[in-house]
Amino acid sequence: MNSLLSQEVPLSWYLLLSALLFALGIVGFLIKRNLITVFMSIELMLNAVNLSFVTFAQMWHAVKGQIFVFFVMVVAAAEAAVGLAIIIAVFRARATLAVDRIDEMKL
Amino acid sequence: MNAPLHLWLIPLLPFAGFLFNGLLGRKLPKALVTAVALLAPLASFAVVLNATATPYLHVAPRCMPCGPPNWGYITLPYVETCPLGWINVASLHIDFSFVLDQLSLVMLLVVTGVGFLIHVYSAGYMAHEEGYWRYFSYLNLFMFFMTVLVLAGNALLMFVGWEGVGLASYLLIGFYFQKKSAADAGKKAFIVNRIGDFGFLIGIFLLIANFGTLTFTDITAKLDGNPLLQGSAITAIALCLLLGATGKSAQLPLYIWLPDAMEGPTPVSALIHAATMVTAGVYMMARTHVLFDHSPFALSVVAIIGGATALFAATIALVQTDIKRVLAYSTVSQLGYMFLGCGVAAYSAAIFHLVTHAFFKALLFLAAGSVIHGLGGEQDLRKMGGLRKKMPITFAVTTVGVLAISGFWPFAGFYSKDEILFEAYTYGYIGRFVWFMGLLTALLTSFYMFRLWYLAFMGESRSPEIHPHESPWSMRGPLVILALLSIGGGWIWKLGFFDFLAPAVGVPIHHIYVLKADFEYWEMMEHFLSIGAVAVAVLGWYIAHRLYAQKPAEPAQIAAALPTGYKLLANKYYVDEIYGAVIIKPLLAFSKYFLDWVVDVAILGGIAWLLGGIAQLTGALLQRWQSGNIRSYAAWLAAGAAVVLLFVIVQWPAAVTTFFDIHLHGLGN
């Protein structure tokens, strides 16, 4: 029986998914007004890149891609911590998270 | 083997003096300024004398029949080249090279010797002037450039000196720059000389184009290889150089700056505008004589210009009342003589006249300066008179100068003027023509010089309120030395000046074919012509004596009888006015209406406005891009990344090739 499940998913699908996620991230980054959504879009792009990293690692049988993913995750975690702290500070100061409104450095 | 002569010291010592006095002189005591200013040219003169003496100190006696003199220790031309080149472009090589040959040696002796005497005189004459240090630094600067001009081994280095003496001349004419007429005269001299320099420069370019070198010896060698070579190129070069010479040496039609240059201090008139700088044109033609020798047409032009200028300027000098103006026109006239000499290929005679003229004209100018000094600044001949008792030494030396310039035997002017007239007489039809002009000029010269002499020194004083005094010894000393030179200077011709200069300026061809062929006839002719020239000079004296000593009322009557002629002469043939109306006014109108309004305001202003407008418009459009909106920047970033990606992914070479294939194929069909 040659069912759909017994077949392996081709690697190019992973890449396509990665590109799709990345594009979604870009679009979200560009069009969303809410700072938290923008931030999530960035996370989405990072994870899209992670997906392509592991895909290529699988494709070339190289472990470097896998290792890089961990680096990205570490950086993303650090970034999330700092970024969310900033967002909270901004919200406390401005009482809004709309990116268009927070276009001045001065409080 | 040549011993080093250190020619480079000759210009550099005055230059050091210029720097010292120019930079520090204002603060220094007068005695130190004077000492430096006088020592610099004296040291140069010493170097020149050393160079002169070296050959004679180390050679065996000269052997006349066996060709050129045996120079032994120093072979002339002696060249000193700066080891660092100057201009090296493709096949063109120009060096800083100084050349000492018979011609530059003679010229150097005159420049540094007479120059030093005039420095000494200046120390007395300028003693009470403001800007004493400035005066002497300019004078030293002049000595620097003049010696560079004389020593230059190529046309470009000569041009450097040529421009430099023009600068020094400008600075010194405008020395009393608070006076508007002096500042204007300086500008006039500079601008008129620019026209001549333009000719010189074009001549230099043509030399490079036709000969590929500017070194005088190379040009001579190239032309000497082809004695029959003639051509329009050589004529063009010679005429361009002639234009340069007419500017610097104040010949028709560019002589107009020299009379105005008398606004400068009198020693400057003596040094720069009589003895040395204005003779640079003659020197330059003697230096490049091979070019003129190969172009009979250019040579004839030189002769005609010289003769015409000599006569023209002499007629103006007849009626001038300013003592310095008389001498200025006389200088123009005598320079005309030198051109006349060059024009009949008698370069050694022209250089000889240059030397004697440097003596007696410097003498006359310095004597005039002494008169002006003694009279407290009075320059009008009509207000002088009777000075012979008050200023006996000035009177004596002026008498020597007047006799010398008028050509009385045995004064220096007799020999040199005579030689030029004789050479002209032997030189075909053009020669006869300019000879006649020269003879007429000699008559006028004698007349106006004795007129000056009578008006200034004889009779009774016409301004009793002025009490003239004799000048100090620093002024009288140079006068006496120059007077001795004006008396005895002519004998250098007898000592073999012609043979001495021959290696540098060549021997005119007609000397060989005409003079040698019938030697006795021409020798007799020379005596005959000499007697004629002296007779003419005596006649000039007699007329002056009659008009200004015996019947002092008569000149005014003659002037009244010939109002048109007198007015024409008194106004210098209205040449300045004609130039003003024909050249300057149209030029000013053209500058104002066309260059200013059309070119500057309309065209250039319009272009500037247009460019500014385009920039502003583009700025206004691009401004929107820089919105300050982070997300729009991010969008551009993403778009840019997409374009880069597109570039990487698409197989450009193939795609482009296909595109072109289709395109070209389509065109082919």
The answer to whether A103 contacts B628, with C-beta atoms less than 8 Å apart, is yes
3-state helix, strand, coil in chain A (%, to 5): 75, 0, 25
Amino acid at A53: F
Grouped pLDDT means (10 residues each) for chain B, 669 residues: 74 93 89 91 91 62 45 67 83 88 91 93 86 91 94 93 94 90 92 92 92 88 75 90 92 89 90 90 92 89 93 91 91 93 91 93 92 84 82 90 89 90 88 92 93 86 77 86 90 83 80 74 86 91 88 81 83 86 90 89 93 93 80 87 85 69 60
The answer to whether A30 contacts B628, with C-beta atoms less than 8 Å apart, is no
Min distance A30 CA to chain B CA atoms (Å):
6
Given a cut of 90, whether residue A4 has pLDDT beyond it is no
The answer to whether A30 contacts B630, with C-beta atoms less than 8 Å apart, is no
Amino acid at B84: L
Q: Which residues of B touch A100 (CB under 8 A)?
A: 629
Residues of B at the A interface, defined by Cβ within 8 angstroms: 628-631, 634-635, 638
Min distance A23 CA to chain B CA atoms (Å):
10
Distances (CA, A) of B547 to B312, B317, B487, B643: 22, 16, 27, 103
The answer to whether B634 contacts A30, with C-beta atoms less than 8 Å apart, is yes
Min distance A5 CA to chain B CA atoms (Å):
32
pLDDT attached to residue B65: 45
The model's pTM is: 0.77
Chain B contact present for A95, CB below 8 A: no
Phi/psi of residue B65, nearest 5 degrees = -70, -20
The answer to whether A29 contacts B634, with C-beta atoms less than 8 Å apart, is yes
**Cβ–Cβ < 8 Å for A28, A40:** yes
pLDDT in tens, A63-95: 999 999 999 999 999 999 999 999 999 899 888
The answer to whether B635 contacts A30, with C-beta atoms less than 8 Å apart, is yes
pLDDT attached to residue B573: 84
**Residue B101, token pair as written in the block:** 């040959």
pLDDT attached to residue B667: 55
The answer to whether A29 contacts B631, with C-beta atoms less than 8 Å apart, is yes
Higher pLDDT, A23 or B229: A23
Interface mutation vs chain A, best among B631, B645, B646, B649, most A CBs within 10 Å:
B631
How many residue pairs from chains A and B have C-beta atoms closer than 8 A?
13
The answer to whether A99 contacts B628, with C-beta atoms less than 8 Å apart, is no
The answer to whether B638 contacts A26, with C-beta atoms less than 8 Å apart, is yes
The answer to whether A99 contacts B638, with C-beta atoms less than 8 Å apart, is no
**Cβ–Cβ < 8 Å for B382, B374:** no
Q: Which residues of A touch B635 (CB under 8 A)?
A: 30
**Residue B109, token pair as written in the block:** 């002796």
pLDDT attached to residue B499: 82
The answer to whether B635 contacts A103, with C-beta atoms less than 8 Å apart, is no
**Cβ–Cβ < 8 Å for A82, A97:** no
pLDDT attached to residue B666: 57
Q: Pick the residue from chain B with its C-alpha nearest to A29.
A: B631
Q: Pick the residue from chain A with its C-alpha nearest to B634.
A: A30
The answer to whether A99 contacts B631, with C-beta atoms less than 8 Å apart, is yes
pLDDT attached to residue B59: 43
Q: Which residues of A touch B631 (CB under 8 A)?
A: 29-30, 99
CA B314 remoteness from chain centre: 20
How many Cα neighbours within 13 Å face the side chain of B195? Answer: 18
ipTM exceeds 0.90, yes or no: no
Q: Is the dihedral of CA B233, B237, B240, B242 positive or negative?
A: negative
**In A, residues 7-46, which contact B (CB 8 Å cutoff)?**
26, 29-30
B380 SS3 class: strand
pLDDT attached to residue B483: 92
pLDDT attached to residue A3: 66
Rounded CA gap, B40 and B448, in Å?
37
